[in-house]
Structure 1
Amino acid sequence: MKSSNPVLGKAFNQPTTMRVDQLEQSYNAPAASSMRTGRMTIEDVVAKTGFLFTILVVVGALAWSANLGMGAVLIGFLGGFVLAMVISFSKNIKPGLVVAYAGLEGLALGTLSSYYESFYPGIVSQAVIGTVAAFAGVLVMYRNGTLRATPQFTRAVIGAAIGYFILGLVSLIASFFGVGQGYGFYGVSGLGLLLAVAGVGLASLFLVLDFDQIEKGVAAGVPEKESWRASFGLMVTVVWLYLEVLRLISILRNDR
Protein backbone atom coordinates (compact mmCIF):
# COMPACT_ATOMS: atom_id res chain seq x y z
CA MET A 1 0.00 0.00 0.00
CA LYS A 2 1.30 3.44 -0.95
CA SER A 3 0.95 6.62 1.03
CA SER A 4 0.42 10.10 -0.35
CA ASN A 5 1.89 11.64 2.80
CA PRO A 6 5.36 12.92 1.84
CA VAL A 7 6.66 12.34 5.37
CA LEU A 8 5.52 8.70 5.52
CA GLY A 9 6.16 8.04 1.86
CA LYS A 10 9.61 6.51 2.26
CA ALA A 11 8.41 4.16 4.98
CA PHE A 12 5.11 3.05 3.51
CA ASN A 13 6.08 2.99 -0.14
CA GLN A 14 8.79 0.34 0.31
CA PRO A 15 8.08 -3.14 -1.09
CA THR A 16 6.39 -5.44 1.41
CA THR A 17 9.16 -8.03 1.17
CA MET A 18 11.73 -5.46 2.23
CA ARG A 19 9.75 -4.49 5.27
CA VAL A 20 9.32 -8.14 6.24
CA ASP A 21 13.06 -8.75 5.86
CA GLN A 22 13.86 -5.77 8.05
CA LEU A 23 11.38 -6.94 10.66
CA GLU A 24 12.89 -10.41 10.71
CA GLN A 25 16.37 -8.96 11.10
CA SER A 26 15.31 -6.87 14.09
CA TYR A 27 13.67 -9.87 15.77
CA ASN A 28 16.68 -12.11 15.11
CA ALA A 29 19.20 -9.53 16.34
CA PRO A 30 20.79 -10.27 19.77
CA ALA A 31 19.41 -8.48 22.80
CA ALA A 32 20.97 -5.10 23.45
CA SER A 33 23.70 -5.29 26.08
CA SER A 34 24.77 -2.60 28.51
CA MET A 35 27.70 -1.83 26.20
CA ARG A 36 25.19 -0.90 23.46
CA THR A 37 22.54 0.80 25.57
CA GLY A 38 24.68 2.35 28.33
CA ARG A 39 22.11 1.14 30.87
CA MET A 40 22.49 -1.15 33.88
CA THR A 41 21.39 -4.75 33.52
CA ILE A 42 21.05 -7.66 35.94
CA GLU A 43 23.99 -9.30 34.17
CA ASP A 44 26.15 -6.24 34.98
CA VAL A 45 25.31 -6.46 38.67
CA VAL A 46 25.95 -10.22 38.80
CA ALA A 47 29.30 -9.88 37.01
CA LYS A 48 30.54 -7.01 39.15
CA THR A 49 29.32 -8.65 42.37
CA GLY A 50 31.21 -11.82 41.43
CA PHE A 51 34.33 -9.76 40.67
CA LEU A 52 34.15 -7.94 44.01
CA PHE A 53 33.69 -11.15 45.98
CA THR A 54 36.62 -12.70 44.13
CA ILE A 55 38.79 -9.83 45.35
CA LEU A 56 37.40 -10.22 48.88
CA VAL A 57 38.10 -13.97 48.94
CA VAL A 58 41.62 -13.65 47.49
CA VAL A 59 42.63 -10.91 49.93
CA GLY A 60 40.91 -12.80 52.74
CA ALA A 61 42.84 -15.97 51.94
CA LEU A 62 46.12 -14.06 51.97
CA ALA A 63 45.23 -12.43 55.29
CA TRP A 64 44.26 -15.82 56.72
CA SER A 65 47.56 -17.44 55.70
CA ALA A 66 49.59 -14.45 56.93
CA ASN A 67 48.13 -14.92 60.43
CA LEU A 68 47.78 -11.18 60.99
CA GLY A 69 46.77 -9.68 64.31
CA MET A 70 43.61 -7.87 65.32
CA GLY A 71 45.17 -4.63 64.10
CA ALA A 72 44.49 -5.83 60.55
CA VAL A 73 40.84 -6.34 61.48
CA LEU A 74 40.59 -2.76 62.74
CA ILE A 75 42.32 -1.38 59.66
CA GLY A 76 40.05 -3.38 57.39
CA PHE A 77 36.77 -2.52 59.07
CA LEU A 78 37.58 1.14 59.81
CA GLY A 79 38.96 1.71 56.34
CA GLY A 80 35.98 -0.10 54.85
CA PHE A 81 33.59 2.02 56.91
CA VAL A 82 35.17 5.26 55.69
CA LEU A 83 35.03 4.11 52.07
CA ALA A 84 31.45 2.92 52.55
CA MET A 85 30.43 6.39 53.70
CA VAL A 86 32.20 8.04 50.77
CA ILE A 87 30.67 5.64 48.25
CA SER A 88 27.19 5.90 49.74
CA PHE A 89 27.08 9.69 49.69
CA SER A 90 28.95 10.30 46.45
CA LYS A 91 26.83 11.48 43.57
CA ASN A 92 29.09 9.79 41.02
CA ILE A 93 30.16 6.23 41.71
CA LYS A 94 33.91 5.56 41.64
CA PRO A 95 34.65 1.89 40.80
CA GLY A 96 38.16 2.13 42.26
CA LEU A 97 36.75 2.92 45.69
CA VAL A 98 34.36 -0.03 45.48
CA VAL A 99 37.24 -2.36 44.59
CA ALA A 100 39.30 -0.93 47.46
CA TYR A 101 36.36 -1.53 49.81
CA ALA A 102 36.23 -5.19 48.75
CA GLY A 103 39.95 -5.52 49.46
CA LEU A 104 39.68 -3.96 52.93
CA GLU A 105 36.73 -6.18 53.81
CA GLY A 106 38.75 -9.18 52.65
CA LEU A 107 41.60 -8.13 54.95
CA ALA A 108 39.27 -7.82 57.93
CA LEU A 109 37.19 -10.93 57.27
CA GLY A 110 40.18 -13.15 56.47
CA THR A 111 41.94 -12.19 59.68
CA LEU A 112 38.81 -12.39 61.82
CA SER A 113 37.77 -15.72 60.31
CA SER A 114 41.19 -17.17 61.06
CA TYR A 115 40.83 -16.00 64.66
CA TYR A 116 37.42 -17.66 65.03
CA GLU A 117 38.64 -20.83 63.34
CA SER A 118 41.45 -21.19 65.88
CA PHE A 119 38.89 -21.30 68.70
CA TYR A 120 36.08 -23.15 66.92
CA PRO A 121 37.47 -25.48 64.25
CA GLY A 122 35.14 -25.73 61.25
CA ILE A 123 33.14 -22.62 62.15
CA VAL A 124 34.10 -20.68 59.03
CA SER A 125 32.82 -23.34 56.64
CA GLN A 126 29.62 -23.52 58.70
CA ALA A 127 29.22 -19.73 58.53
CA VAL A 128 29.82 -19.68 54.77
CA ILE A 129 27.25 -22.42 54.21
CA GLY A 130 24.77 -20.63 56.45
CA THR A 131 25.30 -17.33 54.62
CA VAL A 132 24.88 -18.91 51.19
CA ALA A 133 21.77 -20.77 52.34
CA ALA A 134 20.21 -17.59 53.75
CA PHE A 135 21.04 -15.65 50.57
CA ALA A 136 19.59 -18.35 48.32
CA GLY A 137 16.48 -18.70 50.46
CA VAL A 138 15.73 -14.98 50.44
CA LEU A 139 16.38 -14.78 46.69
CA VAL A 140 13.93 -17.61 46.00
CA MET A 141 11.26 -16.04 48.22
CA TYR A 142 11.80 -12.67 46.54
CA ARG A 143 11.54 -14.14 43.06
CA ASN A 144 8.31 -16.02 43.83
CA GLY A 145 6.76 -12.97 45.50
CA THR A 146 6.75 -14.26 49.08
CA LEU A 147 8.93 -11.35 50.16
CA ARG A 148 8.39 -7.92 48.64
CA ALA A 149 9.85 -4.53 49.57
CA THR A 150 6.54 -2.78 50.14
CA PRO A 151 6.62 0.61 51.89
CA GLN A 152 5.36 -1.01 55.10
CA PHE A 153 7.99 -3.75 54.87
CA THR A 154 10.76 -1.21 54.25
CA ARG A 155 9.74 0.97 57.20
CA ALA A 156 9.52 -2.04 59.50
CA VAL A 157 12.94 -3.39 58.51
CA ILE A 158 14.69 -0.01 58.82
CA GLY A 159 13.00 0.67 62.15
CA ALA A 160 14.04 -2.75 63.45
CA ALA A 161 17.60 -2.15 62.22
CA ILE A 162 17.80 1.13 64.13
CA GLY A 163 16.63 -0.60 67.30
CA TYR A 164 19.10 -3.43 66.68
CA PHE A 165 22.08 -1.11 66.35
CA ILE A 166 21.07 0.86 69.46
CA LEU A 167 20.77 -2.36 71.45
CA GLY A 168 24.09 -3.54 70.06
CA LEU A 169 25.76 -0.29 71.12
CA VAL A 170 24.32 -0.64 74.63
CA SER A 171 25.60 -4.21 74.76
CA LEU A 172 29.05 -3.11 73.63
CA ILE A 173 29.25 -0.33 76.23
CA ALA A 174 28.02 -2.69 78.95
CA SER A 175 30.72 -5.21 78.03
CA PHE A 176 33.45 -2.68 78.87
CA PHE A 177 32.07 -2.45 82.41
CA GLY A 178 31.48 -6.19 82.81
CA VAL A 179 27.72 -5.69 83.11
CA GLY A 180 25.67 -8.82 82.68
CA GLN A 181 28.56 -11.25 82.42
CA GLY A 182 27.28 -13.21 85.36
CA TYR A 183 23.73 -13.36 84.08
CA GLY A 184 24.09 -15.04 80.75
CA PHE A 185 24.29 -11.64 79.05
CA TYR A 186 26.27 -13.10 76.13
CA GLY A 187 25.23 -16.73 76.40
CA VAL A 188 22.43 -18.77 74.92
CA SER A 189 19.91 -17.30 77.36
CA GLY A 190 21.31 -13.76 77.19
CA LEU A 191 21.37 -10.69 75.04
CA GLY A 192 24.22 -11.99 72.91
CA LEU A 193 22.08 -14.74 71.40
CA LEU A 194 19.16 -12.36 70.93
CA LEU A 195 21.37 -9.89 69.06
CA ALA A 196 22.92 -12.60 66.91
CA VAL A 197 19.56 -14.08 65.90
CA ALA A 198 18.13 -10.61 65.25
CA GLY A 199 21.22 -9.70 63.22
CA VAL A 200 20.91 -12.75 60.97
CA GLY A 201 17.22 -12.04 60.44
CA LEU A 202 17.70 -8.34 59.71
CA ALA A 203 20.63 -8.86 57.36
CA SER A 204 18.58 -11.43 55.46
CA LEU A 205 15.64 -9.03 55.17
CA PHE A 206 17.95 -6.25 53.97
CA LEU A 207 18.73 -8.49 51.01
CA VAL A 208 15.12 -7.97 49.93
CA LEU A 209 15.70 -4.21 49.88
CA ASP A 210 18.87 -4.72 47.84
CA PHE A 211 17.10 -6.94 45.30
CA ASP A 212 14.29 -4.42 45.04
CA GLN A 213 16.64 -1.49 44.43
CA ILE A 214 18.53 -3.43 41.76
CA GLU A 215 15.29 -4.39 40.03
CA LYS A 216 14.02 -0.81 40.12
CA GLY A 217 17.33 0.51 38.82
CA VAL A 218 17.25 -1.83 35.83
CA ALA A 219 13.62 -0.94 35.12
CA ALA A 220 14.40 2.79 35.34
CA GLY A 221 17.32 2.43 32.95
CA VAL A 222 19.95 3.92 35.24
CA PRO A 223 23.47 4.29 33.76
CA GLU A 224 25.57 1.14 33.50
CA LYS A 225 28.12 2.57 35.95
CA GLU A 226 25.50 2.38 38.71
CA SER A 227 25.88 -1.40 38.66
CA TRP A 228 29.00 -0.80 40.77
CA ARG A 229 26.86 0.89 43.42
CA ALA A 230 24.32 -1.93 43.31
CA SER A 231 27.08 -4.55 43.68
CA PHE A 232 28.60 -2.56 46.54
CA GLY A 233 25.28 -2.46 48.40
CA LEU A 234 24.81 -6.18 47.95
CA MET A 235 28.32 -6.86 49.23
CA VAL A 236 27.76 -4.74 52.34
CA THR A 237 24.67 -6.76 53.24
CA VAL A 238 26.26 -10.15 52.55
CA VAL A 239 29.32 -9.25 54.67
CA TRP A 240 27.01 -8.19 57.48
CA LEU A 241 25.05 -11.44 57.14
CA TYR A 242 28.25 -13.52 57.27
CA LEU A 243 29.46 -11.77 60.42
CA GLU A 244 26.12 -12.31 62.15
CA VAL A 245 26.03 -15.99 61.18
CA LEU A 246 29.62 -16.38 62.40
CA ARG A 247 28.76 -14.74 65.71
CA LEU A 248 25.61 -16.80 66.18
CA ILE A 249 27.42 -20.10 65.58
CA SER A 250 30.23 -19.13 67.95
CA ILE A 251 27.72 -18.34 70.72
CA LEU A 252 25.91 -21.64 70.24
CA ARG A 253 29.14 -23.65 70.16
CA ASN A 254 30.55 -21.82 73.17
CA ASP A 255 27.56 -22.77 75.32
CA ARG A 256 27.39 -26.44 74.52
Structure 2
Amino acid sequence: MRESSNPVFRSLPKSQGGYAQFGGGAAAYGAQQTMSQPYTQYPPQQAGFSRSLTIDDVVTKTGITLAVLSVTAVVSYFMVSANLALAGPLAMIGSIGGLVLVLIASFGRKQDNPAIVLSYAVLEGMFLGAFSFIIANLYSVGGPSMIFQAVVGTIGVFVGMLVVYKTGAIRVTPKFTRMLVAMMFGVVFASLANLVLGMFGVGGGAGMGLRSGGTIAIVFSLICIALAAFSFLVDFDAADQMIRAGAPEKAAWGIALGLTVTLVWLYVEILRLLSYFNND
Protein backbone atom coordinates (compact mmCIF):
# COMPACT_ATOMS: atom_id res chain seq x y z
CA MET A 1 0.00 0.00 0.00
CA ARG A 2 1.28 3.45 -0.86
CA GLU A 3 1.99 5.70 2.08
CA SER A 4 -0.52 8.54 2.36
CA SER A 5 0.57 12.14 2.76
CA ASN A 6 -1.91 12.31 5.63
CA PRO A 7 -0.25 11.16 8.90
CA VAL A 8 -3.52 9.64 10.10
CA PHE A 9 -3.78 7.37 7.06
CA ARG A 10 -0.10 6.46 7.21
CA SER A 11 -0.60 4.74 10.56
CA LEU A 12 -3.73 2.84 9.55
CA PRO A 13 -3.29 -0.95 9.32
CA LYS A 14 -2.33 -2.31 5.91
CA SER A 15 -3.57 -5.48 4.24
CA GLN A 16 -4.91 -6.92 1.01
CA GLY A 17 -8.17 -8.54 0.02
CA GLY A 18 -11.18 -8.37 -2.26
CA TYR A 19 -13.93 -6.23 -0.81
CA ALA A 20 -16.14 -3.35 -1.86
CA GLN A 21 -14.23 -0.42 -3.32
CA PHE A 22 -14.19 3.25 -2.40
CA GLY A 23 -13.99 4.20 -6.08
CA GLY A 24 -12.97 2.98 -9.49
CA GLY A 25 -10.35 4.09 -11.96
CA ALA A 26 -7.28 4.82 -9.88
CA ALA A 27 -8.35 2.16 -7.40
CA ALA A 28 -8.02 -0.55 -10.02
CA TYR A 29 -4.60 0.77 -10.91
CA GLY A 30 -3.68 0.80 -7.22
CA ALA A 31 -4.68 -2.84 -6.90
CA GLN A 32 -2.27 -3.78 -9.68
CA GLN A 33 0.53 -1.78 -8.10
CA THR A 34 0.15 -3.47 -4.72
CA MET A 35 -0.10 -7.09 -5.86
CA SER A 36 3.62 -7.58 -5.35
CA GLN A 37 3.51 -6.34 -1.74
CA PRO A 38 2.33 -8.85 0.90
CA TYR A 39 0.03 -7.61 3.65
CA THR A 40 -1.45 -8.99 6.82
CA GLN A 41 -4.98 -10.34 6.38
CA TYR A 42 -7.86 -9.59 8.73
CA PRO A 43 -9.48 -12.98 9.39
CA PRO A 44 -12.65 -12.27 11.40
CA GLN A 45 -12.12 -15.25 13.66
CA GLN A 46 -8.64 -13.97 14.63
CA ALA A 47 -9.03 -10.20 14.54
CA GLY A 48 -12.18 -10.24 16.63
CA PHE A 49 -14.57 -8.19 14.52
CA SER A 50 -18.00 -9.11 13.19
CA ARG A 51 -17.63 -7.82 9.65
CA SER A 52 -15.32 -5.99 7.28
CA LEU A 53 -15.21 -2.31 6.49
CA THR A 54 -17.61 -1.02 3.81
CA ILE A 55 -18.08 2.27 1.99
CA ASP A 56 -21.26 2.82 4.02
CA ASP A 57 -19.20 2.71 7.22
CA VAL A 58 -16.80 5.33 5.82
CA VAL A 59 -19.62 7.64 4.71
CA THR A 60 -21.49 7.27 8.01
CA LYS A 61 -18.51 7.83 10.30
CA THR A 62 -17.22 10.73 8.20
CA GLY A 63 -20.69 12.30 8.21
CA ILE A 64 -20.96 12.00 12.00
CA THR A 65 -17.50 13.51 12.48
CA LEU A 66 -18.22 16.44 10.17
CA ALA A 67 -21.63 17.01 11.76
CA VAL A 68 -20.07 17.27 15.23
CA LEU A 69 -17.37 19.60 13.91
CA SER A 70 -19.91 21.80 12.09
CA VAL A 71 -22.27 22.14 15.05
CA THR A 72 -19.38 22.98 17.38
CA ALA A 73 -18.02 25.51 14.87
CA VAL A 74 -21.39 27.30 14.66
CA VAL A 75 -21.69 27.43 18.46
CA SER A 76 -18.11 28.70 18.75
CA TYR A 77 -18.74 31.36 16.10
CA PHE A 78 -21.76 32.78 17.90
CA MET A 79 -20.00 32.62 21.27
CA VAL A 80 -17.21 34.76 19.87
CA SER A 81 -19.67 37.14 18.21
CA ALA A 82 -21.32 37.64 21.61
CA ASN A 83 -18.04 37.98 23.51
CA LEU A 84 -14.95 38.83 21.47
CA ALA A 85 -12.72 37.98 24.44
CA LEU A 86 -13.44 34.30 23.80
CA ALA A 87 -11.88 34.37 20.33
CA GLY A 88 -8.29 33.83 21.45
CA PRO A 89 -8.94 31.09 24.05
CA LEU A 90 -11.30 29.12 21.81
CA ALA A 91 -8.95 29.31 18.82
CA MET A 92 -5.89 28.38 20.86
CA ILE A 93 -7.48 25.56 22.87
CA GLY A 94 -9.13 24.16 19.76
CA SER A 95 -6.05 24.25 17.53
CA ILE A 96 -3.57 22.95 20.09
CA GLY A 97 -5.97 20.35 21.45
CA GLY A 98 -6.85 19.15 17.95
CA LEU A 99 -3.18 18.86 17.02
CA VAL A 100 -2.41 16.86 20.17
CA LEU A 101 -5.24 14.42 19.45
CA VAL A 102 -4.11 13.94 15.85
CA LEU A 103 -0.59 13.17 17.08
CA ILE A 104 -1.94 10.73 19.65
CA ALA A 105 -4.14 9.07 17.05
CA SER A 106 -1.34 8.86 14.49
CA PHE A 107 1.64 7.82 16.56
CA GLY A 108 -0.32 5.96 19.22
CA ARG A 109 -2.30 4.07 16.56
CA LYS A 110 -5.58 5.06 18.18
CA GLN A 111 -7.14 6.60 15.09
CA ASP A 112 -9.94 4.03 15.13
CA ASN A 113 -11.04 5.21 18.59
CA PRO A 114 -14.36 7.07 18.16
CA ALA A 115 -13.83 9.04 21.40
CA ILE A 116 -10.58 10.50 20.06
CA VAL A 117 -12.05 11.22 16.62
CA LEU A 118 -15.15 12.95 17.98
CA SER A 119 -13.11 14.84 20.57
CA TYR A 120 -10.94 16.08 17.72
CA ALA A 121 -14.09 17.19 15.88
CA VAL A 122 -15.22 19.18 18.92
CA LEU A 123 -11.85 20.85 19.44
CA GLU A 124 -11.36 21.60 15.77
CA GLY A 125 -14.89 22.99 15.64
CA MET A 126 -14.01 25.36 18.48
CA PHE A 127 -10.99 26.53 16.51
CA LEU A 128 -12.80 26.89 13.18
CA GLY A 129 -15.67 28.88 14.69
CA ALA A 130 -13.35 31.36 16.38
CA PHE A 131 -10.92 31.48 13.45
CA SER A 132 -13.73 32.05 10.96
CA PHE A 133 -15.13 34.95 12.98
CA ILE A 134 -11.72 36.57 13.33
CA ILE A 135 -10.79 36.23 9.65
CA ALA A 136 -14.20 37.17 8.27
CA ASN A 137 -15.03 40.06 10.60
CA LEU A 138 -11.80 41.44 12.02
CA TYR A 139 -9.14 40.88 9.36
CA SER A 140 -11.45 41.45 6.39
CA VAL A 141 -14.89 42.77 5.53
CA GLY A 142 -16.17 39.55 4.02
CA GLY A 143 -18.43 38.64 6.92
CA PRO A 144 -20.64 35.53 6.99
CA SER A 145 -20.96 35.51 3.19
CA MET A 146 -17.22 34.91 2.87
CA ILE A 147 -17.47 31.97 5.27
CA PHE A 148 -20.28 30.54 3.15
CA GLN A 149 -18.12 30.92 0.05
CA ALA A 150 -15.26 29.09 1.78
CA VAL A 151 -17.57 26.23 2.79
CA VAL A 152 -18.95 25.93 -0.75
CA GLY A 153 -15.44 26.06 -2.17
CA THR A 154 -14.26 23.33 0.20
CA ILE A 155 -17.17 21.07 -0.72
CA GLY A 156 -16.62 21.79 -4.41
CA VAL A 157 -12.94 20.85 -4.26
CA PHE A 158 -13.72 17.68 -2.30
CA VAL A 159 -16.37 16.53 -4.76
CA GLY A 160 -14.20 17.50 -7.72
CA MET A 161 -11.23 15.48 -6.49
CA LEU A 162 -13.50 12.52 -5.74
CA VAL A 163 -14.64 12.60 -9.37
CA VAL A 164 -11.03 12.86 -10.52
CA TYR A 165 -10.13 9.83 -8.38
CA LYS A 166 -13.10 7.72 -9.47
CA THR A 167 -12.48 8.40 -13.15
CA GLY A 168 -8.75 7.72 -12.82
CA ALA A 169 -7.91 11.07 -14.45
CA ILE A 170 -4.93 11.29 -12.10
CA ARG A 171 -3.34 8.06 -10.94
CA VAL A 172 -2.06 7.77 -7.39
CA THR A 173 1.39 6.27 -7.83
CA PRO A 174 4.29 5.99 -5.36
CA LYS A 175 6.09 8.76 -7.26
CA PHE A 176 3.03 11.03 -7.05
CA THR A 177 2.77 10.42 -3.32
CA ARG A 178 6.48 11.06 -2.70
CA MET A 179 6.34 14.34 -4.60
CA LEU A 180 3.24 15.41 -2.69
CA VAL A 181 4.79 14.59 0.69
CA ALA A 182 7.99 16.45 -0.24
CA MET A 183 6.03 19.55 -1.23
CA MET A 184 3.98 19.40 1.97
CA PHE A 185 7.16 19.28 4.04
CA GLY A 186 8.34 22.31 2.10
CA VAL A 187 5.14 24.19 2.94
CA VAL A 188 5.42 23.29 6.63
CA PHE A 189 9.06 24.43 6.72
CA ALA A 190 8.21 27.69 4.95
CA SER A 191 5.31 28.35 7.34
CA LEU A 192 7.49 27.76 10.40
CA ALA A 193 10.26 29.94 8.98
CA ASN A 194 7.75 32.69 8.25
CA LEU A 195 6.43 32.49 11.81
CA VAL A 196 9.88 32.61 13.41
CA LEU A 197 11.04 35.49 11.21
CA GLY A 198 7.86 37.39 12.01
CA MET A 199 8.44 36.90 15.74
CA PHE A 200 11.85 38.54 15.33
CA GLY A 201 10.35 41.51 13.52
CA VAL A 202 11.55 40.63 10.04
CA GLY A 203 9.45 42.29 7.37
CA GLY A 204 7.71 44.42 9.94
CA GLY A 205 6.46 41.33 11.71
CA ALA A 206 5.22 39.70 8.51
CA GLY A 207 8.26 37.48 8.08
CA MET A 208 8.52 36.42 4.44
CA GLY A 209 5.05 37.77 3.76
CA LEU A 210 3.40 34.36 3.43
CA ARG A 211 0.36 35.51 5.42
CA SER A 212 0.50 39.25 4.87
CA GLY A 213 -2.23 39.41 2.24
CA GLY A 214 0.04 40.50 -0.60
CA THR A 215 0.96 38.75 -3.82
CA ILE A 216 3.30 36.31 -2.07
CA ALA A 217 0.57 35.39 0.42
CA ILE A 218 -1.94 34.79 -2.39
CA VAL A 219 0.48 32.53 -4.24
CA PHE A 220 1.32 30.63 -1.05
CA SER A 221 -2.36 30.07 -0.26
CA LEU A 222 -2.99 28.82 -3.79
CA ILE A 223 -0.13 26.35 -3.39
CA CYS A 224 -1.55 25.15 -0.06
CA ILE A 225 -5.02 24.75 -1.58
CA ALA A 226 -3.59 22.74 -4.46
CA LEU A 227 -1.66 20.47 -2.09
CA ALA A 228 -4.73 19.92 0.09
CA ALA A 229 -6.78 19.09 -3.01
CA PHE A 230 -4.26 16.56 -4.31
CA SER A 231 -3.98 15.10 -0.82
CA PHE A 232 -7.58 13.95 -1.21
CA LEU A 233 -6.50 11.65 -4.03
CA VAL A 234 -3.99 9.89 -1.79
CA ASP A 235 -6.51 9.79 1.06
CA PHE A 236 -9.18 8.28 -1.21
CA ASP A 237 -6.70 5.71 -2.42
CA ALA A 238 -5.69 4.77 1.13
CA ALA A 239 -9.34 4.45 2.14
CA ASP A 240 -10.10 2.38 -0.95
CA GLN A 241 -7.29 -0.02 -0.20
CA MET A 242 -8.45 -0.38 3.39
CA ILE A 243 -11.92 -1.36 2.20
CA ARG A 244 -10.58 -3.84 -0.36
CA ALA A 245 -8.22 -5.23 2.27
CA GLY A 246 -11.07 -6.29 4.52
CA ALA A 247 -10.05 -4.03 7.38
CA PRO A 248 -12.27 -4.14 10.50
CA GLU A 249 -15.36 -1.97 10.61
CA LYS A 250 -13.88 0.35 13.26
CA ALA A 251 -11.19 1.45 10.79
CA ALA A 252 -13.86 3.78 9.35
CA TRP A 253 -13.21 6.16 12.26
CA GLY A 254 -9.56 6.47 11.21
CA ILE A 255 -10.55 7.18 7.63
CA ALA A 256 -13.07 9.77 8.83
CA LEU A 257 -10.37 11.45 10.91
CA GLY A 258 -7.94 11.56 8.00
CA LEU A 259 -10.46 13.06 5.62
CA THR A 260 -11.57 15.60 8.22
CA VAL A 261 -7.98 16.75 8.80
CA THR A 262 -7.57 17.43 5.08
CA LEU A 263 -10.96 19.15 4.82
CA VAL A 264 -10.12 21.47 7.73
CA TRP A 265 -6.79 22.40 6.16
CA LEU A 266 -8.47 23.11 2.82
CA TYR A 267 -11.21 25.24 4.38
CA VAL A 268 -8.72 27.31 6.38
CA GLU A 269 -6.61 28.02 3.30
CA ILE A 270 -9.61 28.93 1.14
CA LEU A 271 -10.90 31.28 3.86
CA ARG A 272 -7.48 32.91 4.14
CA LEU A 273 -7.33 33.41 0.38
CA LEU A 274 -10.78 34.97 0.27
CA SER A 275 -9.86 37.30 3.11
CA TYR A 276 -6.98 38.70 1.05
CA PHE A 277 -9.49 39.89 -1.54
CA ASN A 278 -11.86 41.31 1.08
CA ASN A 279 -9.51 43.60 2.98
CA ASP A 280 -10.51 47.17 3.79
SS of the residue aligned with 2:278?
A: helix
Q: Please, which of 76, 100, 121 is the counterpart of residue 63 of structure 1?
A: 76
- What residue is the counterpart of 2:162 in the other structure? 139
Moved more, 203-212 or 110-119: 110-119
Tell me, yes or no, if structure 1 residue 47 matches structure 2 residue 72.
no
Q: In structure 1, give the amino acid aligned to 2:87.
A: G
SS of the residue aligned with 1:146?
A: coil
Q: In structure 2, give the amino acid aligned to 1:189.
A: T
Q: Please, which of 230, 234, 238 is the counterpart of residue 209 of structure 1?
A: 234
Moved more, 169-178 or 97-106: 169-178
- What residue is the counterpart of 1:187 in the other structure? 213
CA distance, structure 2, for counterparts of residue 231 and residue 136 of structure 1: 16
Percent identity between the two aligned chains: 36
The CA deviation string for residues 169-201 of structure 1, in whole angstroms up to 9 with x for no partner, is 1111222233235999323322x2222111101
RMSD (CA atoms): 1.9
Structure 1 residue 213: Cα displacement: 0.5
CA distance, structure 1, for counterparts of residue 116 and residue 271 of structure 2: 26
Please list every run of 5 or more consecutive structure 1 residues that lacks an aligned counterpart in the other structure: 1-35
Q: Please, which of 140, 143, 165 is the counterpart of residue 188 of structure 2?
A: 165
- What residue is the counterpart of 1:111 in the other structure? 130
- Structure 1 runs, 4 residues or longer, greater than 3 Å off: 181-184
Tell me, yes or no, if structure 1 residue 79 matches structure 2 residue 129.
no
CA distance, structure 1, for counterparts of residue 91 and residue 242 of structure 2: 33
CA distance, structure 2, for counterparts of residue 76 and residue 149 of structure 1: 32
SS of the residue aligned with 1:38?
A: coil
SS of the residue aligned with 1:40?
A: coil
- The answer (yes or no) to whether the contact 2:150–2:271 under 8 Å persists in 1 is yes
The CA deviation string for residues 38-94 of structure 1, in whole angstroms up to 9 with x for no partner, is 111111011110001110111111111111321110000100011001111233531
Tell me, yes or no, if structure 1 residue 129 matches structure 2 residue 152.
yes
Larger-Rg structure? 1
Structure 1 residue 205: Cα displacement: 0.8
Q: In structure 1, give the amino acid aligned to 2:214.
A: V
Summarize the alignment of residues 171-250 of structure 1 with structure 2, pairs less than 5 Å apart. Answer: 171-181=194-204, 185=209, 186-190=212-216, 192-250=217-275
Kindly tell me the number of residue pairs found equivalent between the two proteins: 219
Please list every run of 5 or more consecutive structure 2 residues that lacks an aligned counterpart in the other structure: 1-48, 81-85
Q: In structure 1, give the amino acid aligned to 2:66.
A: F
The structure with the largest helix share of the pair is 1
- The answer (yes or no) to whether the contact 2:235–2:258 under 8 Å persists in 1 is yes
CA distance, structure 2, for counterparts of residue 219 and residue 37 of structure 1: 16
- The answer (yes or no) to whether the contact 2:213–2:276 under 8 Å persists in 1 is yes
Please, what TM-score do these two structures have when normalized by structure 1?
Answer: 0.81
- What residue is the counterpart of 1:155 in the other structure? 178
